[in-house]
Amino acid sequence: MKIVGAGYGRTGTKSLQVALETLGYGKCYHMEELFRNPQGVSHWKNAMNGREVNWKKLFTGYQSIVDFPGSMYYKQLSEYYPEAKIILGLRDPESWYKSAYETIYSFDPGLSFKLNLGLQAIYKKKARNLLQVFQLNDKSIWKQYFEGKFEDKNYAVRKYTDHIEEVKKEIAPDRLLLHDARDGWKPLCEFLDKEIPSKPYPKRNKNEDFGDWAKNIVRESLREK
């Protein structure tokens, strides 16, 4: 693990995932990866419950991680991977809250998907794991980390800004990059000592695209063996 993303979901994490993969870091672990490979849910359940986590096994084949749920455990990951660099995604707090509320917090795959998932869970292990992923996200992110108060905008924004200050305090400055997706390639490449690619910095997972994108991922995951 060479890069640990400490930024919350909806701070440009999907774009950062694509950027890191473009820069040659191989596969980057993002919430999307948990939906595609839900067998990893047991490790995240251990993290949520304060038990020992086999990070090495969970991240086999990955060189970086961004987004929830990883960002909630950035301190543990930064200690487990002492050579890894830390990237803290930044976004205007008001803009972040609006985006997070309208997308990841409000995401609902629909009744037909839920019924299909429930039926497949009876005989298909992957469906059972995927069901646990939905349960994990609700419990670990919204009920535990945000204490069931995400709909309280003032509370959620304060949690967001406090997290930024905590990361800046916990991580040594020479190991940390504060990165706004609008800053593009230059600060990221300088921090990682990489050449700036000729292609534009990725712009992925906009609010208006999120619902279709997320539903496609979980549907594809169910179709895969």
In tens, the pLDDT along 199-220 reads 999 987 665 567 676 777 777 7
DSSP code string of the chain: --EEE-SPTTSSHHHHHHHHHHTT--EEE-HHHHHHSGGGHHHHHHHHTT----HHHHTTTEEEE-STTGGGGHHHHHHHSTT-EEEEEE--HHHHHHHHIIIIIT----HHHHHHHHHHTTT-HHHHHHHHHHHHIIIIIIIIITTT-TT-HHHHHHHHHHHHHHHHHHS-GGGEEEEEGGG-HHHHHHHHT-PPPSSPPP----HHHHHHHHHHHHHHHHH--
* Residues near 13 by beta carbon (within 8 Å), at least 6 away in sequence: 5, 7, 30, 31, 66, 67, 71, 89
State the pTM of this model.
0.91
More confident residue, 80 or 124: 80
In tens, the pLDDT along 66-115 reads 999 999 999 999 999 999 999 999 999 999 999 999 999 988 777 777 78
For the chain, the domains span 3-223
| Class in CATH terms, 3-223 | alpha beta
What is the torsional sign of CA 57, 58, 60, 64?
A: negative
